[in-house]
């Protein structure tokens, strides 16, 4: 028997003040797959991600994780029961906790197992010597790695990442993207990564879902979308990649 699709979103919609911000968005992501939700600022990417996370309520639609309804087809599961990891642009580290404390934050169980998992992740993000430091002592790139380790620590089934590199210097960004992608693949979650930067989606995605004014207008492998954009607007959006 094949296992169920890791994340399935079906006809998700949300309006604010009578304006449709997310309209009929459907997507599915398998374990180990990275989907980039790509589109200009204001097109509804973050709202989509927040509904999947469970922090924004959809008006309509269904969300399933590993085949289990978490919204729309049964009881709504709260964010902490969905098995999702979250990572945002500003990293949102807890300033009063050490690096190790931040990474351990979402972990349950006995302390030996937690310590092992924290050590394993700090090694994977190359921050072994940083366990007892506090976030303000770290560079932007180091903070990004702590946020990534923290989000991955509880082994989320779905990783939701909202512009996770846009706070970084240009000069760092490509290296951090590559390292992040390698770790995401190693950990095997289904990843939904929101970005407004076509080059980021081209670099990281197995599949791109191109979003505009609340709707997904095209989806496919990066190469296919780049070479056969659905219309002039999509072509223009990609045209500044070099
Ligand atoms: P993106 O992440 O693609 O930039 P968002 O999902 O953040 O887009 O926002 C899409 C639109 O919905 C924007 O016009 C935004 O102002 C509006 N919006 C988002 N959240 C709210 C809210 N809580 N109340 C009212 N409008 C909102
Ligand atoms: Mg956004």
Question: How many Å apart are CA 30 and CA 188, to the nearest integer?
Answer: 9
Atom 21 (ligand 1): residue with closest C-alpha?
A: 16
Would the CB of 40 count as within 6 Å of ligand 1? no
The count of residues in the chain is: 242
Ranges in the chain, pLDDT < 70: 1, 241-242
Atom of ligand 1 nearest to the CA of 44: 6
Per-residue model confidence (pLDDT) at position 162: 96
Determine phi and psi for 29, rounding to 5 degrees: -135, 130
Write down the pTM of the prediction.
Answer: 0.95
Atom of ligand 1 nearest to the CA of 48: 6
CA distances from residue 223 to 27, 31, 124, 125, 136 in whole angstroms, order as listed = 19, 21, 30, 29, 40
Question: Strands (DSSP E) along 30-186, which ranges?
Answer: 34-38, 60-65, 68-71, 84-88, 158-162
Question: Among all ligands shown, which has an atom nearest to the Cα of 211?
Answer: 1
Atom of ligand 1 nearest to the CA of 56: 23
User: What number is the ipTM of this complex?
Assistant: 0.98
> Residue 27 pairs with which residues in a beta bridge?
9
Per-residue model confidence (pLDDT) at position 242: 53
Question: Strands (DSSP E) along 76-189, which ranges?
Answer: 84-88, 158-162
What's the first-to-final CA gap in the chain, in angstroms?
A: 44
Would the CB of 47 count as within 6 Å of ligand 1? yes
Per-residue model confidence (pLDDT) at position 46: 97
Per-residue model confidence (pLDDT) at position 225: 93
Contacts of residue 55, Cβ cutoff 8 Å, sequence gap at least 6:
79
Atom 13 (ligand 1): residue with closest C-alpha?
A: 42
């Amino acid at each position: 028997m094949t296992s169920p699709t890791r994340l399935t979103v079906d006809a998700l919609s949300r309006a604010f003040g009578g304006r449709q911000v997310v309209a009929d968005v459907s997507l599915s992501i398998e374990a180990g797959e990275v989907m980039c939700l790509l589109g200009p600022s204001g097109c509804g990417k973050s709202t989509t991600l927040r509904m999947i996370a469970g922090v924004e309520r959809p008006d309509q639609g269904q969300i399933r994780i590993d085949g289990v309804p978490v919204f729309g087809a049964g009881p709504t599961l709260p964010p902490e029961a969905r098995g999702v990891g979250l990572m945002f642009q500003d990293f949102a580290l807890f300033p009063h906790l050490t690096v190790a404390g931040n990474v351990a934050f979402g972990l349950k169980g006995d302390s030996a197992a937690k310590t092992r998992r924290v050590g394993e992740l700090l090694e994977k993000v190359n921050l072994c010597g940083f366990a007892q430091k506090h976030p303000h002592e770290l560079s932007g790139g180091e903070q990004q790695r702590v946020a990534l380790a923290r989000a991955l620590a509880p082994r989320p089934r779905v990783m939701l990442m909202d512009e996770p590199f846009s706070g970084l210097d240009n000069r760092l960004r490509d290296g951090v993207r590559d390292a992040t992608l390698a770790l995401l693949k190693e950990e095997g979650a289904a990843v939904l990564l929101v970005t407004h930067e076509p080059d980021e989606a081209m670099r990281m995605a197995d599949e791109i879902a191109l979003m505009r004014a609340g709707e997904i207008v095209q989806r496919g492998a990066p190469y296919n979308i780049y070479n056969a954009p659905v219309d002039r607007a999509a072509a223009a959006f990609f045209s500044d990649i070099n």
